[in-house]
Every structure is written in structure tokens, then in C-alpha cells.
Amino acid sequence: MDRMLVVVFDNESKAYEGKKALLQLDGEGSISVFAYAVLAKHADGTATVKQGDDSGPIGTLLGTSFGSLIGLLGGPVGLAIGATAGLAAGGAADLYNAGIGEDFIDDVTKVLTANKVAVVAEIEEDWTTPVDTRMEAIGGRVFRRALADVEHTIHEENVAAMKADLAQMKAEHAKAHADRKAKLEEKINQLDSKIQAQLQKAKERREATERQAQAKVRVLKEKAADAKAKAS
């Protein structure tokens, strides 16, 4: 499953250790890494993609879902780009292009605070345990979200992606050892709560859209009736 991955560490040294571990997992065949970067958050709210980092096998970050995610994590204050030039700070277009929900960005930015450093990656993984186990051992806090299908609305995409993650976590939970079950169960409960919240948001949005559509129909009907009256 194609996913966006963000792992937040307390310092740059740990983040580079995390990046190394991620690439080792790629080399072992446990996952596939399509793009990656180390993103440092500064005290003034800006973020920097550290110079010298390869962006991974997909090449340039610009114009990709991954690049949009980097831009979003840079925050509204601005993103100071090192070796990888051309990325803009986050916005509505970046959110859509990234193919993930705003709740994911909110969750990450609450943890990716001043002086913390994140490994950001686009990966393909069949199960979550290899990455989680390796990153947790280094002291990283893992956030992931399946990439959404751009053919649907962002809410529908986001819920479908989270449900896919939830189904996979439940399958892993059934096979996991006791020490892993507790961690997976906590993540399952958190993700289920997020799904319910997103479903409620989607319902509210649909209802609002329907009300607007009905109002537009009424206005058009009234205008048509006025025009007919004037013509008669």
C-alpha cells in the first residue's frame, strides 16, 4: 500500500538514524521507499529540508504528492529550502495534491514542534510493524496515511484510506504477540475515532452542499418565473 510516512524525532542525529533505518528496510525488501527527506523545524516556525539529502528514486519533489506534503509541513510561516529548491509553503492546493486529509497534517504539526526533526517519506509497505518497530526503537513517533485516490473528494478519499489502514492493523493485531497487540490496539482505537469524525464531517459537508444546491434551484426557478411574467 502506498503511504505517506512522517517520523518525528527529538534531534537531527536521531532523524538521520531513522532515515538510515528506513533505507535499510528498503534494502531488505520489507518496504519500498519512493521519496524521502529530513525536515528540521526551527524555533521561529520555519522548516528546512536539510541540504545534501537525496529525494529518493522518484527524483524531484516538485509537483508531487510528496512535495506537497513537505510544503504543508513547512507551515504558514514559510519553508526554507536547502538543496531541493522550488517548494512552496502549504495551502489548499498542497492539501489536495498531497492526497491526504488535513487531520493528518494537524496531528503531525502538533508533534513536529520547534527544534524537532522529521523523516518524511513516501513508501509502499505491506504491513506496519517493520517500520514501527525500527522507528520506535530509535525514539521516533510514527504517523502514516495511505495516499488517497484523486478521483474522489478529499473526504471520501481520506476515509477510504484510513479504513484501509484500519483493516490492515486489525489483521496484524489478530496475529501479533501480546506486547505488540497493546500498541496496535491503541492505534486501532485512535484511527477508528478519526474515521468516525471524518464521516461526520463528510455528512455535514454533503448536507451543506445539498442545501446550497436546493437554494440555487429555487433562485433559478424564481428568476425563470419572473422572466415569464414580464414576457406575458
Cβ proximity of 148 and 161 under 8 Å:
yes
Distant-in-sequence, close-in-space partners of 55: CB < 8 Å, separation ≥ 6: 35, 36, 37, 61, 66, 84
How big is the CA angle at 195 (ends 45 and 9), to the nearest 5 degrees?
35
- Is the Cβ–Cβ distance between 4 and 61 less than 8 Å? no
Tens-level pLDDT at each residue, the chain (232 residues): 788 899 999 999 999 999 999 999 988 888 888 888 899 998 887 888 875 445 555 545 554 677 778 888 875 434 443 333 333 434 444 555 556 777 888 899 899 999 999 999 888 888 999 999 999 999 999 999 887 643 345 567 678 888 888 899 999 988 888 888 888 989 999 999 988 887 886 677 567 557 645 654 664 577 578 778 878 7
